Structure 1
């Protein structure tokens, strides 16, 4: 599989690149600086330099040619509103349009659990961040592409467990970034999972088994 990761220099994106490379997949990505490109090249990732916030769909589409999937892992983490709009909002829409222009069939977005931060004293900028995330999820879900939205619980840097809870709805807790990346890699290789929103939390089910269980089942026979 040939996969292009937007956010490949970030924590989840970098871990996903490693997971996919270990599977034998070809990984490309978008970075902002030349030194990032050189560092990723040393790890077998063909990174391209560009500014996500200002790149047009046509220019991005030229980077996506020949890819089997585009994965969007970039995020602002609820900072200033202009950054949230550029990265969590307009950037996703541009990437979605570019994937369509380039003929890339599969588009995966790493989003956020809707109830993340509920009950806490969120700032106005953080509330805005969650609103943008929700609207972008809606936009992706209306796409004609083979889309996937993964909503992980709060990301932590703890060691991977190798086990998760995955399904249409999960409680908000926390999950190691390594487990998110491993789950995402498994999901990209499970072709039965298409046009689904899945939520991800720490749990007791091995990742491969959890992904298989989330795939739609074919039913035969009659009444």
Structure 2
């Protein structure tokens, strides 16, 4: 399976790249900064330098040609402005959806956030982030040409993964290690029955494989 990850140098993306490469998948990570290329190569991924804030649909579609799935794991990151929440967290996700449709790639995973809501009120940067994530989710879910899954993790931590999660439509707030988010994404790519689901994700007591399969079977 060939998987292209937008935001390829992000903390979740790097973990996901290592997992996918270790199981024999072909992985490419889209990055803006060419200085990050060696890190992706070390993780087992092919670095693709492309700025998602300025790339065209046609340029990105060429990168996606031949892919079996795409993962949107990009984000403007801590310290960024409200404007960049829109151009990265929202607009780049929509761009990836447009390019996936053009390239004929149906499977699309998007890493969102618990409480993401395009109508979220508030003037803070985090409020803008939740609105941007919510708008991106809405845009992806509106694509009938995509087999999308929206993953909404709780508070992300750098704790070692436990391999135990809660993955349901509504989990409530809670922390989750980035290791376990990456493990869930890797498993979702192997379970087509999760297409069309929006799933919240926090730490829990169910093994990742079992949690993903339960989500698919409980639709």
TM-score, length-scaled by structure 1:
0.91
3-state SS, counterpart of residue 201 of structure 1 = strand
2:165 aligns to what? 164
1:93 aligns with 2:84: no
Matches within 5 A, 1:97-136: 97-114=98-115, 124-136=124-136
1:143 aligns to what? 143
1:191 aligns with 2:175: no
Matches within 5 A, 1:196-207: 196-207=197-208
Moved more, 192-201 or 28-37: 28-37
2:53 aligns to what? 53
Larger Rg: 1
3-state SS, counterpart of residue 183 of structure 1 = helix
Moved more, 53-62 or 35-44: 35-44
Aligned partners of 2:108 and 2:148 also within 8 Å:
yes
Cα RMSD for the two superposed structures: 1.7
How far apart, in 2, do the equivalents of 1:87 and 1:33 lie?
15
How far apart, in 1, do the equivalents of 2:116 and 2:16 lie?
25
**Deviation of residue 115 (structure 1)?**
7.0
1:115-138 CA distance string (max 9 Å, x none): 79xxxxx76222121112111111
Aligned partners of 1:115 and 1:172 also within 8 Å:
no
1:215 aligns with 2:216: yes
1:64 aligns to what? 64
**Deviation of residue 35 (structure 1)?**
2.4
Moved more, 16-25 or 34-43: 34-43
1:17 aligns to what? 17
3-state SS, counterpart of residue 132 of structure 2 = helix
Please list every run of at least 4 consecutive aligned residues from structure 1 whose deviation after the TM superposition is greater than 3 angstroms: none
TM-score, length-scaled by structure 2:
0.92
**Number of equivalent positions:** 213
Q: Structure 1 unaligned runs (5+)?
A: 117-121, 219-223
How far apart, in 2, do the equivalents of 1:171 and 1:38 lie?
38
Aligned partners of 1:17 and 1:45 also within 8 Å:
yes
